[in-house]
Amino acid sequence: MFRLLFVISAFAAVLVTGLPSSRVVNGEDAKHVLNHHYVLTAAHCVKNAKSWEVHLGAHKRSLTHEPHRAVYKTTHGKAHPDYNQRNLNNDVGLLYFEEEVKYTAYVQPATVYAHHVSEDRTVVVSGWGLMNDHSAQPAETLQFAPLVTMKNKDCAAVYSNDVVKETVVCAKGVTNESACNGDSGGPLVLEDTHELVGVVSFGHAAGCEKGFPNGYSRVNTTPITRIVNGEEAKPGQFPHQVLLRPDTGNVISDRFVLTAAHCVKNMKSIEVHLGAHDRTNPNEDGRLVFNSTEFKPHEKFNLLANNDVGLVKLPEAVKFSDKIKPVKLPKNNNDKYENETAVVSGWGLEHTGGSQAPHELRFTELRVISNAECKKVYNGLIVKDSTICAKGEEKESACNGDSGGPLVHKETGELIGVVSFVGVEGCEVGLPVGFARVTKFLDWIQKNSV
C-alpha cells in the first residue's frame, strides 16, 4: 500500500495570503481552482515564510465571504530540497493542511500532465497578479490568458542555460500576454485538457509587457513530493517489483514472487507482470506477463495481519534482464534496523478514498521505527516480533494497492519488509506502515520456494 497524496492548485483559485498576489497581463476574467490536503506552489513562495492563510474557491480577491470560498490556515510549508535561490532551479513547494479539504464545484484537484509538453502547445496561465508594469495593486478578479510553449533553447537565449534547465518549461503570449508580479506559484495548464504542466516561477527584469517569455517549473519532471514525498521511479529502477493485479510483489527467484498473504488468500488465478513501470501499458519494452494459478499464503496468517506473507509460483522460469531481477534477501536473522532508512515502492492510491492509482511506479523513503513505538499506535495483537514498522518524516506512507510490495534497506538493497497494513485513519495522516519482517520468514520462504 503506497503512493501519496498529491493535490495541486491549478486553474487558479487558490489565494494564499503571505504569498505574492496574482494577476495576468492582458488577460480575461477567469474561473476557479483546486486543492485537497496539499497546495502546489513555487519554492520561493514558501522558502522563508512561517504561516499561510489559504483561500480555496476564490474569485474576487478582496471578497473574503464569497459563498463558495473555503479558508484554511497552515504552518506546514515545504520547499523543494534542491531549490536554488540564485537561478530558481527546482522552484516548487507544497503547503499542507491537517484537515482534509472537501471538494465542491469550486474546489477540485488538478490533474498533472504526465508527459513532456512540447513546443507550440497552447496553454493557459491564471492568477491575481499585477495587470501591468505600472500597477500598484493586484487584480481584484481572477484573470487568465492563453500562451504558447516554446523550445527551451530559445528561452535560454533570453535567460541563459543556467536558468532554463530541463525542469523548466517556457511560454509567451502571441500579443504580449504574460504572467506578472504576484502570479508566482500559480498554474500553467493545457488549454484543451486543463492538465497542469507548470508552476509560475520567473519573468524578465525588463517587465511583464515587453513580450518576453515566462519560466515555469515543469511539474512532471521536477521530483517534488507527491502527497507525502513520493517520487516517480525511473523505468528499471526497481527490477524486483512485480505488478500483481490489484496488488504488488517481489521477484525472489526465476520461479517465485514474494507478496503478502492477504494478496493471494482465496485467489484462484493472478495476472503477474514482471518488469512493469507504467501499469496501464502491458506492451512496455521488457515486460513479461504470466497468469499464475499456484500460490501459497502463510499457514498462520490471520485477520490481525500476523504472518502476512505469501508466494506466487510462476508457470515457467523467467530469464532475468535489466528490467527483471531478483531482490536480495537478508543473509541472516540480524534485523536491528531501527532508525535506518528503507525504500517502499508501488502503484498504490495517492490518498485514502482515491479511485485512481498512478500509472507509473512510485517510491519514497521511510524510517524504520521500533516495534515498541509502533505498538503505541496499533497494539501488541497486531505488531508482533514478525512485524517491522516504518514511517515518513513528512507523512510519507504506503497506501491501498501497495500491499505485498517491497520495503528495501537503502544501503544494503536487501528486502526487509513486505507491505502489510496501514491505519484505518488513512494513508496521509502520518501513521506508521506495518510490514511483514522478512528475516522472520527466511526459513518459510526457503522451504516453500523450491
Residue 373: which H helix or E strand, with range? helix 371-378
Question: Do 127 and 87 share a structural domain?
Answer: no
CATH number at residue 137: 2.40.10.10
Question: Do 146 and 250 share a structural domain?
Answer: no
Cell digits of residue 303: 485477520
What is the distance between the alpha carbons of residues 27 and 10, in angstroms, rounded to a whole number? 17
Question: What's the pLDDT score for residue 233?
Answer: 86
DSSP 8-state assignment for residue 100: P
For residue 245, which amino acid is it? R
Question: What's the pLDDT score for residue 394?
Answer: 63
Question: Do 322 and 175 share a structural domain?
Answer: no
With cell 515555469, the residue in question is 216
Question: Do 365 and 305 share a structural domain?
Answer: yes
Bond before 138 cis per omega within 30 degrees: no
What is the distance between the alpha carbons of residues 433 and 427, in angstroms, rounded to a whole number? 9
- Asked if residue 16 belongs to a domain, the reply is no
Q: How many domains does the chain have?
A: 3
- Asked if residue 127 belongs to a domain, the reply is yes
Question: What's the pLDDT score for residue 25?
Answer: 53
Residues 6+ apart with CB under 8 A from 219: 8, 40, 92, 112, 113, 196, 197, 198, 199
Residues 398/427, Cβ–Cβ less than 8 Å = yes
Per-residue pLDDT of the chain (450 residues; tens, 9 = 90+): 222 222 223 333 445 443 333 334 544 433 223 345 578 888 888 887 778 888 888 889 888 888 988 888 887 777 776 788 888 888 988 777 767 778 888 888 777 776 778 899 999 999 998 888 887 788 899 999 999 999 999 999 999 999 999 889 999 998 888 998 888 899 999 998 888 899 999 998 888 888 999 999 988 654 332 323 467 888 999 999 999 977 899 999 999 999 999 999 878 889 999 999 988 888 899 999 999 999 999 999 987 889 999 999 999 999 999 999 999 999 877 778 999 999 999 887 554 444 456 678 888 889 999 999 999 888 788 899 999 999 887 656 666 668 899 999 999 999 999 999 877 655 656 788 899 999 999 999 999 998
Question: What's the pLDDT score for residue 176?
Answer: 85
What is the distance between the alpha carbons of residues 119 and 292, in angstroms, rounded to a whole number? 45
The catalytic residue positions are: 262, 308, 403
Question: Do 364 and 344 share a structural domain?
Answer: yes
Burial group, residue 444, by CB count within 10 angstroms (0-12, 13-18, 19+): middle
Question: Do 374 and 394 share a structural domain?
Answer: yes
Which of 218, 243, 275 is where one domain is finished?
218
* CA torsion through residues 232, 237, 240, 242, sign: positive
What is the distance between the alpha carbons of residues 403 and 349, in angstroms, rounded to a whole number? 11
With cell 500500500, the residue in question is 1
Cell digits of residue 404: 505485498
- Asked if residue 73 belongs to a domain, the reply is yes
Question: Do 251 and 130 share a structural domain?
Answer: no
Listed in sequence order, the DSSP H helices in 137-176 are 152-159
- Asked if residue 161 belongs to a domain, the reply is yes
Question: Do 147 and 64 share a structural domain?
Answer: no
Host domain of residue 272? 223-449
Instruction: Specify the 3-state DSSP secondary structure of 404.
Output: coil
What is the distance between the alpha carbons of residues 172 and 170, in angstroms, rounded to a whole number? 7
Question: Do 190 and 314 share a structural domain?
Answer: no
- Asked if residue 415 belongs to a domain, the reply is yes
